[in-house]
Structure 1
C-alpha cells in the first residue's frame, strides 16, 4: 500500500494536468481491488482522465501505437511462456505438493 500511496506524489502537479490516461500493466487483483475502494489515491486522475489496467503487452497496442511504445525488455519478457513444474515438494515440516512457475 505504501507504494500505491506514493505513486501520485512522484510526478509534479503539472503532469497530472496534462495526463490523459494512465496504463497499469501486470498488476495483481489486489491492486485492482485496492484502487476501487481507496479512490483517494486516484484523486489526481479524476475528471476526464482514465486509469486502464492491462494484463498483456499486446493489449497495450489497442491504446498506443506499437511504434510509440518504449517498453523495456524486462517488461516484454513478462509475456513469454512460463515453465511449470508439477508435483514439486516444498521443504517444510510437512510434504505438500505445489506447482512452481519459473519465468
Structure 2
C-alpha cells in the first residue's frame, strides 16, 4: 500500500480519521478497540495520528487520488462516494478516469 499510493501519508492519515469517526459511532465495539490497540503497538505513525484525534469533514464525498501501479504506471483517478438514504452507514465508492488519458 505504501508504494501504491503516491501520497501514502495523506491517505493513511485520512484512513485513521475515518476510523476515529467510526469509533465515535461504536465506542463499545471490542473488535474496533482491539484493532486500534494492535495498530498503535505495531505502527508509530498510527499511534501519533490516532492521538491527534483529527476527524474528517463529513462533506468530503469526492476527490482525486494518484497511484503508482507496478504494471501500468501512474494512474490519476477521481472518486465519488454514494450513500443510500435507508442505510447511511453503507457507502459505494466509484472510481473513474478522465476519458482519453493514460489512466
- Normalized against structure 1, the TM-score is what? 0.32
Q: Where is the strand percentage greater, Structure 1 or Structure 2?
A: 2
Q: TM-score, normalised by structure 2?
A: 0.32
